[in-house]
A and B are shown apart, each in its own frame.
Chain A
Amino acid sequence: GAVVSQHPSWVICKSGTSVKIECRSLDFQATTMFWYRQFPKQSLMLMATSNEGSKATYEQGVEKDKFLINHASLTLSTLTVTSAHPEDSSFYICSASRRAGYEQYFGPGTRLTVT
């Protein structure tokens, strides 16, 4: 159990367009989901925490209007990168936990390339 999927696994988009990344918990209900960003050969940086049915909490320095997060159900959270630019190119990873304080299960990641 505790499988998290992400879709798409990779995406290429043109500068100025928006792209949506989905994160799903396949066999459990996730009250909390996390979105991370990972630059090449670097660690994971937490972007935001989302709880089902409420607004996401963004980390300092993350533009909430640029990275829109929606956690509409207990099994789905989405990250929309709006008006993407080349500097947004990165590996985006989500994780999900059953409830506060419990283990996070990570998705396989989405590689975003903005041309």
Chain B
Amino acid sequence: AQSVTQLGSHVSVSEGALVLLRCNYSSSVPPYLFWYVQYPNQGLQLLLKYTSAATLVKGINGFEAEFKKSETSFHLTKPSAHMSDAAEYFCAVSVFGNEKLTFGTGTRLTIIP
């Protein structure tokens, strides 16, 4: 079975500062990893995904994440936070041949003006 752990249920950063949201995974087979964003009372939007190609993955809205097998991590970063980035972010894992997604507990990102 696979799982993800998101460190920090709540992260606050100043507008223009670096955003770093942490995600560590556990999987007995090579994983597929995802970051989703959820705005209040809305569904999930895919930010980016890792599916065993390049380890540095670029997504929408200026976000990127790096797959580090040695650290079992897939942290999400953005160089400069924008007010519109305030939302809930979920890391998720699946494995090839099994499309079930297992979600982390989420990190609420607050942007300080």
Contact = CB atoms under 8 A, between A and B. Distances in A.
A104 B104 contact: no
Interface in A90-115: 91, 93, 95, 97, 100-109, 111
B71 interface: no
A46 B97 CA distance: 17
A54 interface: no
Contacts of B97: 100-101
A43 B42 CA distance: 13
Contact of A46 (B46, B101, B108): B101
Contacts of B90: 43-44
Main SS of the interface on chain B? strand
A60 B71 CA distance: 31
Given A106-B45, A108-B43, A97 B99 contact: yes
Interface in B68-113: 90, 96-106, 108
B41 interface: yes
Contact of B41 (A34, A42, A109): A109
A109 B41 CA distance: 7
A78 interface: no
Nearest to B97: A101
A32 interface: yes
Given A103-B46, A106-B45, A49 B100 contact: yes
A70 B51 CA distance: 30
Contacts of B98: 101
Given A42-B106, A43-B103, A103 B44 contact: no
B43 A43 contact: no
B43 A93 contact: yes
Interface of A: 4, 6, 32, 34, 41-46, 49, 91, 93, 95, 97, 100-109, 111
Q: Closest 7 interchain pairs by CB?
A: A106-B43, A106-B44, A108-B43, A43-B103, A109-B43, A43-B105, A44-B103
28 contacts: A6-B43, A32-B99, A34-B101, A41-B106, A41-B108, A42-B105, A43-B103, A43-B105, A44-B101, A46-B101, A49-B100, A91-B41, A93-B43, A93-B44, A95-B44, A101-B96, A101-B97, A101-B98, A102-B99, A104-B99, A105-B46, A106-B36, A106-B43, A106-B44, A106-B45, A108-B42, A109-B42, A109-B43
